[in-house]
Amino acid sequence: MNNSGSKLPLRVAIAGLGTVGCGTFELLDANHSLIERRSGRAIEVTAVSSRSRNKDRGLDLSAVAWFDDAVEMAKTAEADVIVELIGGSEGIALEVVREALLSGKDVVTANKALIAHHGTELAELANEQGRSLLFEPAVAGGIPAIKMVREGLAANSFDRIYGILNGTCNYILTTMRETGRDFDGVLKDAQDLGYAEADPTFDVDGIDAAHKLAILASLAFGTEINFDAVDVSGIRSVSALDIELAEEFGHRVKLIGMARRVGNGVEQFVKPCLVPVNSPIGGVEGVFNAVAADGDFVGQLMVEGRGAGGGPTASATVADLIDIARGQKLPVLGMNTDRLHGSQEIDTSERTAALYIRLSVKEEVGVMAAISSVMAEEEISLESFVQHNSEEGEPVSLVLFTHEAAEEALNKALERINALPVVLEPAQTLRIEAL
């Protein structure tokens, strides 16, 4: 790589040569002249570490040092920055980042699980060592979500931050809507196309999105990162029928990650939600992600793009390296850790929601009256309901849309409704969010 500038090059060691690691190496090589002009100095890869030395990655690694042990590389490599692309919240990834900081090196990581579980601790360590810990690629791939919240909107107080934070789930829900097929078949196609892992648990059960949300919530609200405070539900239970019925009522089903102020606390959840078709977030389709923030002076902003993949995530990784090469130094979580509030969890009695409720009921007189009576007794008002008739003697689908109500009351009402003799199976529910 070229080194024509007056400053010494920024030396980078990459731990993990998977899709993102290779993409980062390729991007630094392909755009080295542009990157040097923009950062004021060359950025050069001087060392790498990966599990397999002999794998053909299509990269020329002849000029870089190879380490079989990534932790040893973090301690001893001739590098200014360690780029951690191993993944996982514990084990080697955590050791690499800790040892890099303790050895006086800056760190860039794409590891959202690591930051979600250990971000506050690692931010304190980085501060103690006077080093940078950057993680733009950890949230929404190529979308500059971290920079938007931490830097671009730093003067704003936030009411809420939310988004579509997992492209696998968004692809599955989009395809279910377009084809009318159910979850299992579409998931298999997503795996065949490489959009979903062989074990899709982190994606489809909402864990990946929850990691990202916990990070965004900390930046937006100035709190310590608290992954355990995120209420998480995935998309396995969403049916093609729910998606079809949502469309009839002008909504689409999206897996939404939301953090918002409630009283003196911050509510955080990842759940499949009905959102208006004509809303900006309702139009985000396929593998795309989006992050939206409501600031008190800027209003609402939304950024959309590819949330994963070698190219987009490498782009975000190198953007962080450019910041370090320029000498920019920012508090890891937007402010010094001693200024962060606690997690500010809210009392469960403060939680409210509006729900879509689908019931399978017997075709009998008085069914709606029985259900309405339960709702009235729990002080829940209905915005609308519709009955989908079936063949004579077959179960009837009854769909209810509630106004916003206390979650405790909604849960109690659903428990009572599910126990009614006319209700044939537990209600299917989805949140309704007016985004």
Return the domain boundaries, the chain: 10-138, 145-305, 348-432
What is residue 48's predicted lDDT score, i.e. its pLDDT? 94
What is residue 364's predicted lDDT score, i.e. its pLDDT? 80
CATH superfamily of 348-432: ACT domain (3.30.70.260)
Residue 311 makes CB contacts below 8 A (sequence gap 6+) with 23, 27, 142
Active site (catalytic) residues: 212
Just give the CATH number of 10-138: 3.40.50.720
- 10-138 against 145-305: fold identical: no
Residue 65 makes CB contacts below 8 A (sequence gap 6+) with 46, 47, 48, 77, 78
Closest CA to 112 of 294, 287, 307: 307
What is residue 391's predicted lDDT score, i.e. its pLDDT? 62
Is residue 95 a contact partner of residue 72, using CB atoms and an 8 Å limit? no
CA distances from 192 to 185, 187, 294 (A): 11, 9, 37
The SS3 of residue 156 is coil
- The fold adopted by the segment(s) 145-305 is Dihydrodipicolinate Reductase; domain 2 (3.30.360)
Is residue 105 a contact partner of residue 81, using CB atoms and an 8 Å limit? yes
What is residue 45's predicted lDDT score, i.e. its pLDDT? 95
43 phi, psi to nearest 5 deg: -120, 120
pLDDT tens across the length of the chain (435 residues): 444 445 899 999 999 999 899 999 999 999 999 999 999 999 999 999 988 877 877 887 888 899 999 999 999 999 999 999 998 888 999 999 999 999 999 999 999 999 999 999 999 999 999 999 999 999 988 899 999 999 999 999 999 999 999 999 999 999 999 999 999 999 999 898 888 888 999 999 999 999 999 999 999 999 999 999 999 999 999 999 999 999 999 999 999 999 999 888 899 999 999 999 999 999 999 999 999 999 999 999 999 998 778 888 999 999 999 999 999 888 998 888 888 887 667 777 788 999 999 998 888 888 888 999 999 999 999 988 888 766 666 788 889 999 999 999 999 999 999 999 989 999 999 999 998
What is residue 180's predicted lDDT score, i.e. its pLDDT? 95
352-361 and 396-402 strand pairing: antiparallel
DSSP H or E stretch at residue 279 = none
Helices (H) and strands (E) in the chain, counts: 14, 17
